Structure 1
């Protein structure tokens, strides 16, 4: 009977101790929380307190992101990506992301680039068609420009010919007027000279 009482009391004390370990952890101060990661190629256990003698409350995979809450006796109090809070060996915690995280980031970046490339490739036929249409319009405009230049050249030549013709006509008109004036002057001179003769005879 006495042994049963001792066994029951021992179990009760152990239960209360375990409960105290899990419930009496310090409340994280959000102002002091920092980011951290479990180093690569490692699988560690999370303890209820700062030491291996505290019970294990879970495990954390390599490269997992953490929130660093506190440090004590070579252990770091952390909060993992599942929302669990516990203590891990501080040697296995890094403030830089590990290869697993970097590889995942690279994979995400490659996936994004592949999606962008696929989207651009899907737009390529449409862009090629637009390029063909623009080239055709450009060829038509070049033809119109060449025709306009040809017409302009012909018009300039026609204007030059007309100008030359007008110059010749003006010269001919001037010569005709001069000849007419000269002839008219000669006629008047002859008429006047004859009148003088007639007047002398009278």
Structure 2
């Protein structure tokens, strides 16, 4: 009877300790497959096993035995040493998440690489177009320079021809003026001899 009272008191204490903790998510450590017990100690009956990485809910803690009361994914309630629980997701949970992140990052990198290649191609195309436009402007500028050189040579030739024509006209006027002066001089010399002779001839006839 006395022993039964102690057992009831211990169960009440355990129940009280378990009720003071809210449910918390924990994970079975990655490096083991652990046994779960019906009570907070290895002296209690084993009621099953949990594989490493499984997620469980921590219902309470027995500080005296350092055991925690858990509920697994199958709905079983049992006890397990606290050192076999972790508050971080196990590799069993992390690996698929990490693989998904790697896949997502790989896709982003592929997209970035494709976008970078597209932008590079666009820039190269624009540079080539600008080079072509620049070369066209250079060719046009050189053509204008050539036309200007030809025009200047033609203008110089026209100026030379104009000078020759002006000299020819001046020479023609000079010759014409000299001719007129010469004719006038001759007439001036001849007329005095011609006119008086006629007058004398007329006077004898009268």
| TM-score normalised by length of structure 2 | 0.48
- Structure index of larger Rg: 2
| TM-score normalised by length of structure 1 | 0.49
